[in-house]
């Protein structure tokens, strides 16, 4: 199958041709025909599967085919959790719409609102926004959502994890009921199922399982190592294996900074991206990582979302996440759009419980690399142990306040505040029916 068989308009096909998209990814060939027909959609898919084009192309097609008279109005609203993802989706839309008279903008907190006000005054057709800043600009009268015909919630599970549910519901209340709505989420916990019942009308469900999307294409390995040896092992892998482009995950912002410092002491340049870094610093690090002048990027989970670097050769899990889905998402940063990649997981004496959860979720035992110089049978023997209480509770305490300045500024500790059994998993009961 190629894109021409999906009934997209010629300017879009020309743009895709230029960008180099030849074959639709599975989510694209599954979603686009139903979306063109105007159906609502519940999509279970992660970043890396090509889902941005899956929702953006039909929306662009519909807007281009039905131009409105008069000044530009916001006809499509795309909500997403982080500024990186908002910028990424906006960039993609700009690329796809290069031959169309359609304007898109990215709106997020943590930067001055002035330039965003200016773009809004000029008029946009598609708004890609994080919920906090959008709500702020709405309350100041800069945003009018009364012409929205298309609504997308992207990475909805993350938005809920980050405490955005109230903001989302306030925003939904300002959008016309007659619209096409799409909800994409890497996982479908109960809170997402509840939200989708409130905002979607008779939706088509599409699901790209992690197994078929990424895990199979990725060469995974597991290294048992004592916590105190993790630094040595990381340096060893980078110095000896000379991986081309490495994304290292750490559970905390402090952890990221420590790794960067230690690698520096070992003669390896690395940069960190996390919520305490300024937007400028993050963009600079990402630019260098993308263009190949930076070999090692260290990130928290939330900061890593929206990193659109297609040729990451290695993902290293320096800490194992306590949510198995996060592991699947992390390793999906390599092996994007079907390409292979290498994912290495370190497991220390305290992380056996997390490893068991991950292996259960991916339904496979990750092959153990016993040949590495820091291999620890002691760490391996702790696989059956429970994780220490202190570690399990990390990041589950505070609730994320709504604050436009902190959009995207969320450490992975917050992302670990999974909705399972938490406050977010309960139905708020304030939802609207679309009927």
Return residues touching ligand AMP (CB under 6 A): 21, 23-25, 28, 47-53, 308, 310, 336-337
> Which H or E run contains 344?
strand 341-347
CA-to-CA separations, 418 to 14, 73, 372, in angstroms, rounded: 42, 36, 33
Query: Of 48 and 408, which CB lies nearer to ligand AMP in the complex structure?
Result: 48
Q: How far is the CB of 173 from ligand AMP (least distance, A)?
A: 28
Measured from the CB atom, the residue of 306 and 352 that comes closer to ligand AMP is 306
φ, ψ of residue 316 to 5 degrees: the values are: -115, 120
Burial zone of 141 (CB within 10 Å; 0-12 exposed, 13-18 middle, 19+ buried): exposed
d(CA 321, CA 328): 10
> What is the SS3 assignment for 138?
helix
What is the C-alpha to C-alpha distance for residues 272 and 275, in angstroms, rounded to an integer? 10
Nearer to ligand AMP, 136 or 308 (CB): 308
Closer residue to ligand AMP in complex, CB, 21/164:
21
- Cα 303 to Cα 158: distance, rounded to the nearest angstrom: 12
Q: Which is nearer to ligand AMP, 152 or 294 (CB)?
A: 152
Contact 414, 395 (CB under 8 A): yes
Least separation in angstroms between residue 289's CB and ligand AMP is 14
Least Å from the CB of residue 25 to ligand AMP: 5
In the chain, the N- to C-terminal Cα span, in Å, equals 36
Of 249, 357, 351, the C-alpha closest to 305 is: 249
- Distance of closest approach, residue 31 Cβ to ligand AMP, in angstroms: 11
The residues facing 222 across adjacent strands are 345, 368
The residue (of 51 and 230) whose beta carbon lies closer to ligand AMP is 51
Pairing verdict, β 126-129 and 41-44 = unpaired
Instruction: Work out the angle at residue 428's Cα, subtended by the Cα atoms of residues 426 and 432, and round it to the nearest 5 degrees.
Output: 135
In 10 A of CB 367, how many CB atoms? 10
Question: What does the alpha-carbon distance between residue 385 and residue 124 come to, in Å, rounded to a whole number?
Answer: 54
What is the chain's length? 435
**Least Å from the CB of residue 233 to ligand AMP:** 30
Least distance to ligand AMP, CB of residue 5, Å: 13
Instruction: Return the C-alpha torsion angle 387, 391, 395, 398, nearest 10.
Output: 110
Closest separation in Å from C-beta 177 to ligand AMP: 28
Smallest distance from ligand AMP to CB 116, Å: 23
- Backbone φ and ψ for 116, nearest 5 degrees, come out as -70, -40
Helices vs strands, H then E, count in the chain: 19, 13
Distance CA 424, CA 409 (A): 19
CB of 22 to ligand AMP, least distance (A): 6
Cα separation, 29 vs 6, in Å, equals: 8
231 or 305: whose CB is closer to ligand AMP?
A: 305
Question: What distance in Å separates the CA atoms of residue 247 and residue 330, rounded to the nearest whole number?
Answer: 9
Taking the complex as a whole, how short is the minimal distance between the CB of residue 159 and ligand AMP, in angstroms? 16
Min dist CB 330 to ligand AMP, Å, is 15
């Amino acid at each position: 199958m190629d894109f021409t068989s999906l009934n997209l308009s010629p300017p879009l096909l020309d743009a895709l041709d230029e960008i180099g998209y030849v074959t639709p990814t599975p989510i694209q060939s599954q979603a686009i025909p139903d979306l063109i027909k105007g159906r609502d959609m519940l999509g279970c898919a992660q970043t890396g599967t090509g889902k941005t084009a899956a929702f953006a192309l039909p929306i662009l097609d519909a807007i281009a085919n039905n131009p409105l008279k008069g000044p530009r109005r916001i006809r499509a609203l795309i909500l997403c959790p982080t500024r990186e993802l908002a910028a990424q989706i906006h960039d993609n839309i700009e690329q796809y719409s290069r031959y169309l008279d359609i304007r898109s903008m990215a709106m997020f907190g943590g930067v001055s609102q002035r330039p965003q006000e200016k773009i809004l005054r000029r008029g946009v057709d598609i708004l890609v926004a994080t919920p906090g800043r959008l709500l702020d600009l709405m309350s100041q009268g800069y945003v009018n959502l009364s012409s929205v015909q298309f609504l997308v919630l992207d990475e909805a599970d993350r938005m809920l994890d980050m405490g955005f549910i109230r903001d989302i519901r306030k925003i939904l209340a300002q959008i016309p009921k007659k619209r096409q709505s799409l909800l994409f989420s890497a996982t479908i916990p109960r809170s997402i199922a509840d939200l989708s019942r409130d905002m979607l009308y008779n939706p088509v469900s599409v699901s790209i399982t992690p197994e078929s999307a990424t895990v199979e294409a990725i060469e995974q390995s597991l290294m048992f190592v004592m916590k105190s040896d993790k630094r040595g092992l990381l340096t060893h892998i980078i110095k000896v294996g000379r991986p081309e482009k490495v994304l290292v995950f750490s559970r905390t912002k402090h952890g990221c900074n420590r790794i960067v410092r230690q690698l520096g002491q070992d003669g390896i340049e690395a940069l960190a991206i996390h919520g305490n870094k300024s937007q400028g610093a993050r963009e600079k690090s990402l630019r260098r990582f993308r263009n190949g002048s930076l070999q090692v990027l260290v990130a928290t989970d939330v900061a890593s979302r929206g990193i659109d670097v297609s040729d990451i050769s290695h993902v290293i899990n320096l800490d194992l996440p306590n949510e198995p889905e996060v592991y699947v998402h992390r390793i999906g940063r390599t092996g994007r759009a079907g390409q292979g990649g290498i994912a290495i997981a370190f497991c220390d004496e305290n992380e056996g419980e997390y490893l068991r959860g991950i292996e259960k979720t991916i339904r496979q035992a990750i092959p153990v690399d016993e040949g590495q110089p820091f291999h620890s049978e002691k760490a391996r023997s702790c696989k059956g142990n429970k994780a220490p209480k202190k570690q399990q509770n990390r990041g589950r305490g505070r609730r994320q306040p709504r604050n436009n300045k902190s959009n995207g500024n969320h450490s992975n500790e917050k992302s670990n505040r999974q909705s399972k059994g938490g406050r977010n998993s309960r139905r708020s009961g304030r939802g609207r029916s679309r009927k």
